[in-house]
Structure 1
Amino acid sequence: MFSGDDYPADALDANAQGTVRVRLDIDRQGRVSRCSVVESSGHASLDQATCNIIQTRARFAPALDVDGRPSVSTYTQSVKWAIAD
């Protein structure tokens, strides 16, 4: 879902790295309806890029309720941003 081209330019210039932990709200269609930073990387541009990319690209199989109907759910994910040597 992420590639080296996704690294924010200002974060590259600052040699910023870190791990962002996010909570995702998943709608009945399996799309991310909301992304909240639970634990910041310490760099706003990395945090923001994480949510922007996930909200644009991520798709999930929707959760099912007890009757087998799609329902809303949440998911927590960590993304590690690191500059390759």
Structure 2
Amino acid sequence: MATFSGVLHADGYAGFRDLYEPHKLGSPPGIQEAACWAHARRKFFDLTVSSKASIAEEALRRIGELYHIEKAIRGEPPDVRKAARQHGSTPKVEALR
């Protein structure tokens, strides 16, 4: 990893966290995290199973909208996917935040 720079798509394993911080583990400054929604979604899903949590249900609905965008752009070239995410997903993620 000492020479890698770019985007690293990994699951939510906490051991990867330091890779995204250049001052730790001797990581180069150019590693950008590409996280997935599955791990965050699972936590909200668990809340809806254990109790009637309307805010968790709303989060699941909004994450579902992001999944719909991904389905629509699956198989498209990277530049098309990036543009669609910036146009469609970014505002939805900001609203979810």
TM-score tier by shorter-chain length is under 0.3
**Higher RCO by CA contacts (8 Å cutoff, separation 6 or greater):** 1
Query: Larger helix proportion, structure 1 or 2?
Result: 2
Instruction: Give the structure with higher Rg (CA).
Output: 2
Could you tell me the TM-score, scaled by structure 2's length?
A: 0.23
Query: Larger strand proportion, structure 1 or 2?
Result: 1
